Structure 1
Amino acid sequence: MSCATPAANSNDLNKPFRFGGQNFKRWASKVVWILTAKNPKKVDTKNMSEEELAEHEKYAAKWENDEEDCRNYLLNCASDELYDYYSHTYNSAKKMWKALQQKCDTKETEKKKYACSHFFNYKMSENVSVVAQTHDLQMIVHEIISE
């Protein structure tokens, strides 16, 4: 899915799911080049030829348009709670993306720590069947693997 041409996707019936803070890695795969591309306004144009300057200005205009489309895409995919916060706090897609990424990476780390501590603190009990306890331990291991 491209932020650059939202009209091209208007016939696509696969609407991206709303992002509420979970499954960040899956949702992140929906975002495009604009978040990793360098802002062309920050490039020094003093030593450019007229052709290069014209090409650069054309690229900068496209980048600016795509950046705005991408910001709107991020906001439109966000849950209402996230939309209210990020729409007023961040005016660029990159800044918004970095804040979302930092927030979600922190949550992911917390989940991993919790799953590992659950595994290390697990104790077998004599009054519960070994099969049930083995199943519980396997579920904890699968949780760690999925994280």
Structure 2
Amino acid sequence: MASSSDVKSDVQISNKINDERPEKFKGVDFKRWQQKMQFYLTTLNLAHILKEECPKLADPDSRESLLTVETWKQSDFLCRNYILNRLDDTLYDIYSAYSTAKEVWDSLEKKYKMDDAGAKKFVIGKFLKYVMVDSKPVTKQVEEIQILMHELHGQGCSINEHFQVGAIIEKLPSS
């Protein structure tokens, strides 16, 4: 049997996890915010709401069926408001018009995944156009290329090691 100190410890750990909510989303770094938000909602046992529609009332006279729908609606209410409360005020005003957590989530994803695609294109362009010059130390320029490669990786573009080495050699100044 668990002692009262064990139960108290479990409650403190649970509360600590729930207190570590993501920063408010201000319209940038959506992918990072989305992952943190999904983790946060998972700790609250609400992440499943983002993928589910409201269950249909199988039997209107069934207490169990009514309870299932009411439980889902309560979870959706909580999930929707946890998401809205992690949005910047200007975004809150826009997305509070949606009636379910899934609608809010899908709308954010549709809008900001497009922006992420633009960011990926921008980082790829920076990497492809990068040229090393004689006027800067080679080590500094290699660090800049490594940062670009890290940004590419952060955007989901993986480059194998042989290509990375070849790209650095190709970008070396001709002299």
Provide the identity percentage: 27
1:68 counterpart = 2:73? no
Once residues 101 and 36 of structure 2 are traced to their aligned partners in structure 1, the CA distance between those partners, rounded to angstroms, is 18
Larger radius of gyration: 2
Match of 2:107 in 1: 99
Unaligned runs of 5+ in 1: 1-7
Once residues 132 and 139 of structure 2 are traced to their aligned partners in structure 1, the CA distance between those partners, rounded to angstroms, is 11
**Following TM superposition, by how much is the alpha carbon of 1:104 offset from its aligned partner in structure 2, in angstroms?**
2.3
1:36 counterpart = 2:51? yes
2:98 alignment partner AA: Y
Q: RMSD of aligned C-alpha atoms?
A: 2.4
Q: How many residues are treated as equivalent by the alignment?
A: 132
Task: Indicate the SS of the match to 1:12.
Answer: helix
1:120 alignment partner AA: L
Larger RCO: 1 or 2 (CA < 8 Å, sep 6+): 1
Match of 2:26 among 20, 32, 52: 20
Unaligned runs of 5+ in 2: 1-10, 42-46, 156-175
Once residues 119 and 39 of structure 2 are traced to their aligned partners in structure 1, the CA distance between those partners, rounded to angstroms, is 20
Q: Give per-residue Cα distances to partners, 1:68-97, cap 9 Å, x unaligned.
A: 12111111121112111111x312211111
TM-score, normalised with respect to structure 2 = 0.65
**Which region of structure 1 is more displaced relative to structure 2, 103-112 or 131-140?**
103-112
